[in-house]
Structure 1
Amino acid sequence: MRPSITPRTGPTTIRRAVGRDAKRLTRLVRGSRAYEGQFAAMVADYRVGPTYIETHRVFVAVAADEHESRVLGFYSLVLDPPELDLLFVADEAQGRGIGRLLVAHMKSEARAAGLDRVRVVSHPPAEGFYRGVGAVHTGTASANPPAVAWDRPEFEFRIP
């Protein structure tokens, strides 16, 4: 486990996800306001399962308070091919530096794994976020109906 880091939400720790986190991560994905309206179908049946968590590098940002450990966000780094597969921040934690913290952690993990770049196929409303955290626009991923009915911007994190 890495040491605690303090973004604008107070003490936050990033730790490796475990199988018992699966339901909380699934709820975070399905309940995300970023996927309301036209995007709702994409996550309606989405599930972050224990096998997925065990197979990939999934990390959660948690805020420890007196009563419980709250999941503020998470990401999944796939190593082959290198891709940031998932990155979600809880609606109530957005704008507090959690996404930036998760991206910094992901870059550190990618570097430790020997990667020099990590691809991201972005949810269209998240395009500004990825540009803001240093991702470079590399193209467009075409729609893939029925699951994804819209084109998505592609980015790349270059890992020094």
Structure 2
Amino acid sequence: MSARRSPVSRPVMIRRAVARDAKRLTRLVRGSGAYEGKYAAAVAGYRVGPDYIEAHRTFVAVGADQQGERVLGFYSLVLDPPELDLLFVADEAQRRGIGRLLVAHMRAEARAAGLDRVKVVSHRPAEDFYHRVGAVRTGTAFANPPAVPWDRPEFEFRIPAE
């Protein structure tokens, strides 16, 4: 585990996700404000299961509250082919640097795995975020109805060797 300070008032820890995190991660995805309205169908039945967590490098950003550990966000890095498959920050934790911390952690994980680039197919409302954290626009992932009935921007994180 690595302790990281962020613009939030309490320290944020980023740790490897475990099977018991699955329900919380699923709730975070399904409850994301970025997927309301016309985007709601994309995550309505989405599930982050224990098998998914075991198969991919999934990490959670957590903070402490009165009930114990609170999930602030998470990401999942697929190694082959290299892709940032999921990146979500809880609505109430947005604009506090959590997404930036998760991306920095992902880049370090990618570098440690020997990757030189990581692809991201972005949700439209997240496009500006990916620009701000250093991803480069590389193209468009075209609509795939009925699951995803809209085009999505594709990005790439370039991972320099140390």
Q: Smaller-chain TM-score range?
A: over 0.9
Q: Give how far 1:67 is off.
A: 3.3
Distance in 2 between residues matched to 1:46 and 1:106, nearest whole Å? 22
AA at the equivalent of 2:5: T
Any idea what the Cα deviations from partners look like across 1:121-160, whole Å, max 9, x if unmatched? 0000000000000000000000000000000000000000
Rounded Cα–Cα distance in structure 1 between residues aligned with 2:111 and 2:155: 17
2-side partners of 1:26 and 1:103: how far apart?
20
Match of 1:61 in 2: 61
Which residue in the other structure is 1:5 paired with? Answer: 4
Alignment of 1:81-160 (within 5 A): 81-160=81-160
Which consecutive residues of structure 1, in runs of 5 or more, have no partner in the other structure?
none
Q: Is 1:35 equivalent to 2:35 in the alignment?
A: yes
> 1:72-118 CA deviation, whole Å, 9 max, x = no partner?
00000000000000000000000000000000000000000000000
Q: Which residue is 2:15 aligned to? A: 15
Write the letter of the residue equivalent to 2:7.
Answer: R
Report how many residues are paired: 159
1:24 equivalent to 2:24? Answer: yes
Cα RMSD between the aligned structures? 0.6
TM superposition outliers: structure 1 runs of 4+ over 3 Å: none
SS in 2 for 1:157: strand
In the TM superposition, residue 66 of structure 1 has moved relative to its aligned partner by 4.5
Q: Does 1:80 align with 2:80?
A: yes
Q: Which amino acid aligns with 2:6?
A: P
Q: 2 CA distance for matches of 1:47 and 1:29?
A: 8
Aligned partner of residue 4 in structure 2, secondary structure: coil
How many Å apart are 1:65 and its aligned residue? Answer: 3.1
Q: Specify the code of the residue in structure 1 equivalent to 2:23.
A: K
Q: Which amino acid aligns with 2:36?
A: E
Q: Distance in 2 between matches of 1:36 and 1:65?
A: 27
Is the partner of 2:134 in helix, strand or coil?
Answer: coil
| TM-score between the two structures when normalised by the length of structure 2 | 0.97
Q: What is the identity, as a one-letter code, of the residue corresponding to 1:101?
A: L
- Percent identical across equivalent pairs? 78
C-alpha deviation, 1:6, in angstroms: 1.0
Structure 2 counterpart SS, 1:96: coil
Mapped partners of 1:155, 1:23: distance in 2: 28
Cα separation, 2, equivalents of 1:65 and 1:30: 22
**Aligned to 1:143, what secondary structure does the other structure show?**
coil
